[in-house]
Chain A
């Protein structure tokens, strides 16, 4: 087997950048920080592409299938001969695909940030955090051990927290960072318990062994399926809890509430973490354990399917009503991730098993990374230029930002699923697998794809057309508002070169990623499958997407009162969607009213009155006794001598009494 040790460099280089920039970035390297961080990720990206090339085209396919390769394995913590936490690197189609996506998008964001974050006070720190995130995410996808993945899982959560709270002088950013951390942490609790259940029964933490033991008739399998709690087998509980962890990270309903708020971070960070990479970690996790999910007839996959479908639909409806550019994109991300989850859930119910959904999900993850990162970076350019996040403040920007206009249009077409853009192919695969699995879910997915086209083009027309020609000048709530106004004048060009380059590259990706023969490369068992022809099946979604686009054009192409009238016509439905189905309010009600009152206040009472009371009692008793005996400390030497003699006399009497 060829030497794979160099693969460890892929995650370690960004880590090195993080360490160097974290230690020296603020004082010594300042302006150089961006270059150093970008260079490290550039090498990582090069190595990732090289690894992907080697894996897919040179050495990966042994006897016609892509087998997992353990590239590196070092025991970190050994509990018993069979049970240890290893730091290992696993190469299989999905992890290789993911390192390419992660390092590539990260590189684009690094380059973009060179222009976007220029002149920021904490420029070095920003790049250090980006490095930390890239390291954690690459480590996460390469993990060959379920506990290792958990470690990296928490690391991405931590770096996400740091980056959301990057503008820590803004209370809203601080609140958003805390919200993201707490919500995902709560979900991670489920993940941890899930890991414990699965590894307890499988008696291993290693992915390969775990999958092998829990996907066939083995003694461990018998054990885990017979043990049950509340009538559900331990296996299902374990898988369900792992899925909850994934749902938290991937912002699935009802754990999605942190994602829209996470847009408080700098826009390139939103592109990297909250659109292209970190939020798909949950999808990746389910995909990683897919053989286990599949085996028991896919009981838990039902949950995955419906959670995905519900998230996709709800998020798309909410996205239609929001007016903050980044929030629309955030809900769109949530909706697309719902799609990916839905695809993973579409394992046969009737008829024979099909794993088309797995490939479709990974395919959509791949294409989504390109067009969603592109959308966010375009939004970054817009915000950078006009200093506003609000859709209402901008309009008619197509002349001012021609390149961004084109790129945004490409990304919109891709996400709307118009052939031949990349999103079309992956979305067709998902719809096809949904069709085979469950007609209801298919309907939901189809409707959602129409909605997707509508809200994306609503955004597109509002930003780039609508008003004849406008340059928004108001500094409202954009990222740019916090930093120094970099190029306030309109005489400057569209954006610096470092910001344009990633747009163009990602636009090419969004155009062409669909032509990657995914079903030959990434399948759940590594066996290449033939391309299926899409054919007339694609008719319905494309038609729906076109209808969505035309409705958007009708409503938003020119400034008019049409959108207002439609909103008024929809009445309560619109209002509910605008308020995000009041889910935040429900959470607030549950935490503030129920948890605080029923648990928090009694606990506080016990703490104040019983725990503190015991301490106070001890202190009071001590104080009283010392007050009573302090008179002995008279300060007269002769008194002390008298006590001494009295003591001696007392002891003498005592001894005489005892020994005679």
Chain B
């Protein structure tokens, strides 16, 4: 009887230790990056993906891109965040850029935000005197972009006690740098409603 009681106690302690050990570490699991995210009504990954996909598809069908003999050179300009949230608009344009690049119908020149690295590299190669002349990427040969992509994201948010309604509109423009003409424009609207 004593033996049985001891065994039960030991088993209980062992189980408790095991349970505690299991609870103390983080629980990690991979999810589907493309799965619909509905944690709350704020701007999220699904919005990013929807916007990028819609804009890329529309842009590739535009006359400026599909009607061009050679893949036109485009650069990314600002996408203004006019919402009350913090949204890294650069992520949106980068995602659009990646998808456009994969299509092979567009080439991209470095954008303003990437110019520091570009000038640093040119300066290093041209002005340090360390490089073989025939291999140097020479200053003054960068290619200018024919078009620039710029746009904005805005939102209208309405709250009641139980409902939060968010309306996003993402606007993107393709502008001919030489003529200043707007060659293409499209928008993507998203409505999200959260209830308690």
Question: Is the A/B pair a real complex?
Answer: no
